[in-house]
Structure 1
Amino acid sequence: MEDETGIIDVVAAAVRKARKGLGLSQEDLALEAGVDRTYVSQVERGTRNCTIVIVARLARALKTSPDQLLVPQRKGRSSF
Structure 2
Amino acid sequence: MNAMDTELPTVTVTLWRADAVVLFDWLTSTDLDTVPTTHPAQKQALADLLSRLEWATDADITESSAGEIAAAQEEVAKDMGW
Q: TM-score, normalised by structure 1?
A: 0.30
Q: TM-score, normalised by structure 2?
A: 0.29
